[in-house]
Structure 1
Amino acid sequence: MKNFEKDDQELQVENETFFSKSMQRRNFLQYAGASAAGIALVAAGCKKDDNFNRGIDLGTGDIGILNYAYALEQLEAAFYTQVALTPYASISSTESAYMTAIRDHEVAHREFFKAALGNSAIPGLEVDFSSINFASRDSVLASAKAFEDLGVTAYNGAGYLIKSADYLTLAGKIVSVEARHAALIRDLITPGTFVGPDVVDANAVNNSRTPIEVLTMAKKYIVTEINASNLPS
């Protein structure tokens, strides 16, 4: 599949003003907010892995974590853009509206990270969705569920690695949107299953995954090699 950033340019109009490429870092911090109070992200370890010590370097410190999030948002934006371009068979108008709304959210997240990172942003990633049948509702929703659940656990698992309170606040704001997506997709598959024991523990705390765990799961869909060896731990 060719670089997807060129495929969905026509879908950016609604977000172009706020998420302009000319956005400066000071705007990013202002949007994120001044405090991380009230955000409870589950801590999980980040270990190095030989499978992620080559390719595009995510970077170090907070920049590395933001690029990590940017990579995942690229993946999700590409997936929902394809869903919108090739709707599955007999999709209802309601479900079409849901898929379009989620696509817009993910595209907005992607463009926000890209603008905020500026020259430190990794390039657009090449993705491979050949294992997904976009003509099948079951295949699309199962894939959406996997992507959304993975995204939530990714933000939760990387939260404690973020040093900047402003960036942590932003992560908390974005993961809450991703969790809304995850709940909606689960209910579309089976009504009333918006949350379950497979995503939360006995204390009703959402599960988390380390960056290496997340990237290992996402590698099936990302052709571009990613170097995560310099991420904080």
Structure 2
Amino acid sequence: MNRKEANQPSPISRRLFFSYAGTSALTATLVLSGCKDDESGMPVDMGVDLGSGDIGVLNYAYALEQLEAAFYTQVIQTKYSGITAEEEQILTDLRDHEVAHRDFFKAALGSAAIANLEVDFSKVDFTNRTSVLSTAKTFEDLGVSAYNGAGQLLTDPNLLLIAGKIVSVEARHAAAIRSLINPKSADFSGDDVVDTNGLDGQMLPDKVLMLASPFVKTKINASNLPTP
């Protein structure tokens, strides 16, 4: 099956987005990076401002997809020692999905999209299977919780529909990674992420960004995001 290159936008994703979500929500203008003066009059770097309202939530999702796309792109570029054909296929599929999600949000946000984030994978040993898969597990579990938590912050039901379609894919990714780590166990839906009611957990942006911060050099300002 032919796949898109990692840096190639996905026209199908763009068409799907605009067919479900009205353009009115996508025309807002954001200040992408902000600063203010402290008491001494010196400017204080407030980081990249995600923005407010639905646009801010979309930029929040875009930031997370940038991180995941960059990670899996590196995984495939520098494959770990002993990687099997099945593992390479799964990780390549995950890369393609995350790149499609990233390009999807970038195209949908247009001029309101935040700039490219600078990532930091210095704590990941891309030559080591355990290091790669444990990091992938962290990202995928975090992604599911992030989308679950962000859904309640959206006001446009069309955007909520899109978020639901993406989080279901992220959940498939999380299960696939867990199955690679423990192929003979039922850990694909472990009790560390699924509660006794059979429901996945959720996290709000402040906690998600705190957990993701070791992998992102760019300072992110989420102070204007909506709250529950």
Q: TM-score range by the shorter chain?
A: 0.7 to 0.9
The one-character-per-residue Cα deviations of 1:107-127 (angstroms, maximum 9, x if unpaired) are 000000000000100000000
Per-residue CA deviations over 1:116-140 (Å, capped at 9, x if unaligned) read 0001000000000000000000000
Look up the match of 2:205. Answer: 211
2:94 matched to 1:102?
Answer: yes
Aligned length: 200
CA contact (8 A) 2:48 2:114 kept: yes
Contact 1:57 1:228 survives alignment (8 Å): yes
Cα distance change of structure 1 residues 100 and 60 upon mapping to structure 2, 3 Å threshold? same
Alpha-carbon separation, structure 2, partners of 1:119 and 1:145: 32
- 1:4 matched residue in structure 2: none
What residue number does 1:38 align with? none
> What corresponds to 1:135 in structure 2?
127
Could you tell me the percent identity over the aligned residues? 58
Q: Deviations over 1:10-67 (max 9, x none)?
A: 4345x54435xxx58xx6241469xxxxxxxxxxxxxxxxxxx920100000000000
Q: Secondary structure at the match of 2:12?
A: coil
Alignment of 1:175 onto 2:164: no
* Aligned-partner Cα distance in 2 for 1:12–1:220: 24
Distance in 1 (alpha carbons) for counterparts of 2:154 and 2:223: 16
Q: CA RMSD in A?
A: 1.8
Greater strand share, structure number: 2
Q: Is the 8 A contact 2:80 2:127 kept in 1?
A: yes
1:220 aligned residue? 214
Match of 1:219, SS?
Answer: helix
Structure 2 length as normaliser, TM-score?
Answer: 0.84
Mapped contact 1:29–1:167 kept (Cα < 8 A): no
Q: How does 1:149-168 map to 2 (within 5 A)?
A: 149-168=141-160
1:1-233 residue pairs with structure 2 within 5 A? 10-13=5-8, 16-19=10-13, 23=14, 28-31=17-20, 54-191=46-183, 192=185, 193-233=187-227
Are the equivalent residues in 1 in contact too, given 2:10–2:104 (CA < 8 A)?
Answer: no
Unpaired stretches in structure 1, ≥5 consecutive residues: 1-8, 34-52
Q: Distance in 2 between matches of 1:224 and 1:11?
A: 21
Aligned equivalents of 1:75 and 1:64: distance in 2?
17
- Assess if the C-alpha contact under 8 Å between 1:29 and 1:166 holds in 2: no
Given residue 121 of structure 1, which amino acid in structure 2 is its aligned partner?
A
Structure 1, residues 157-189: CA drift from partner, whole Å, max 9, x if none? 111010000000000000000000000000100
Relative contact order: is structure 1 or structure 2 higher (C-alpha 8 Å, sep ≥ 6)?
1
The structure having more radius of gyration, on CA atoms, is 2
Counterpart Cα distance in 2 of 1:56 and 1:111: 19
Instruction: Report the AA paired with residue 6 of structure 2.
Output: L
Tell me the SS of whatever aligns to 1:56. strand
Alignment partner of 1:18: what SS? Answer: helix
The ranges of structure 1 where at least 4 consecutive aligned residues each deviate by more than 4 angstroms after the TM superposition are none
What is residue 27 of structure 2 aligned with on the other side?
A: none
Which AA in structure 2 matches 1:173?
Answer: K
